[in-house]
Each structure stands twice: as structure tokens, then as C-alpha cells.
Amino acid sequence: MRQRKLVIVGDSYVGKTSLLTVIGGERYPVEYDPQHLYVGYSKPVRVDGHKVALGLWDPGVVGSGPLALANAAFRGRCYMDCDIIVVCFAIDNPTSFRNVRECWQPEILHFCSGFTAPILLVGCKLDTRVTQETQEGRVNGKEMISPERGRLYSQGRLELWHI
């Protein structure tokens, strides 16, 4: 069975762990469990009719100052030999979307120069879009990142998925 490695990054509380929980074959978590981290968890999946052992890596985002630097170094090691990178943001959190450009893309470029495999931009928390958006792109007073806005950013850089 071929092995593939998926690394997922993004700000805290954007839905990374929930996404990996579902990819890992478990039910969507009702509550956030910060202890439920995926580092090297392997899940057999089918890709184009072939069995693949998909390694799920969620190196997390921890602390500030020296702790954050140590975590960034750990994430750097996680990127090694990966086959796909998933960059997540929460569609109801514009700061997490801005950090894709200001934090995550520079980190990926730093650790993965010459990386040719797919990098997916995933807008998580689609369930927060409980009612139709107003023309201002707001739901219940919160600014929402639209698929179009994500697509414009990702054009030529990343593939975009809203889930």
C-alpha cells in the first residue's frame, strides 16, 4: 500500500482538528478537544481506486514567544516529505484568512522551497453560515469570507475548498 503524508496548518480554532477527525473516519466532534491531535496518524483511504495509507499530521499552533518558535521548528520538521499541504482558515474569522497570507504561506515557502505537490486552501466552519448572507458579506453581524474572495486569493497559488 502506498503511503502519503498530509500536513494541515492554520490558526487555532479554525477547524483543522475537526476536519482531520472526519477524514480519519470518526464522527464530527461536538466539542473541541485540544488533546485530540493528529501527528503521524495513518488512515487507509482510497484514491482513484487505489488503497493509500494517508498519514495525517496536525502539528498544531501553541503559545507565544519561545514556545511558539519551538512549535514553528516542529512544524518545519512535519513538512518534510509531505505529499500535500492543507492550509485552513475559518470563514467566520477574517483574521485567520489574513494569516494565510501573512503567516502560513511564508512559513510553507520557507520550509518547502521547491515543493511541487498540491497546497489546498480550505475554508472551514461553513456551518456558521446559518442564514443567507447580506450583500455586505455578513451573517449575524460577523464578516464571512466568501468562496469568491478565497478563490481570488488562491488563484495561481493554491486550490480552494470551502467545507
* Structure confidence by residue, pLDDT tens digits, 37-85: 566 678 888 888 989 998 888 887 655 555 565 677 788 888 888 899 9
pLDDT higher than 60, residue 141:
no
pTM over 0.75: yes
Q: What pLDDT does 37 receive?
A: 59
Q: What pLDDT does 145 receive?
A: 77
pLDDT in tens, 68-80: 656 777 888 888 8
Residue with the larger pLDDT of the pair 36 and 84: 84
Which architecture does CATH list for 2-162? Answer: 3-Layer(aba) Sandwich (3.40)
Cell numbers describing residue 88:
485552513
Closest CA to 121 of 144, 149, 143: 149
Those residues with Cβ within 8 angstroms of residue 80's Cβ, 6 or more apart along the chain or in another chain:
none
**Residue 25 CA to chain centroid, in angstroms?**
17
3-state SS class at 141: coil
pLDDT higher than 80, residue 152:
no
Q: What pLDDT does 162 receive?
A: 44
Residue with the larger pLDDT of the pair 35 and 103: 103
Query: Mean pLDDT score of the chain, rounded to an integer?
Result: 77
Q: What b-and-e string marks burial along 73-93, b requiring 16 or more CB atoms within 10 Å of the CB?
A: eebeebbeebbebbbbbbbbb
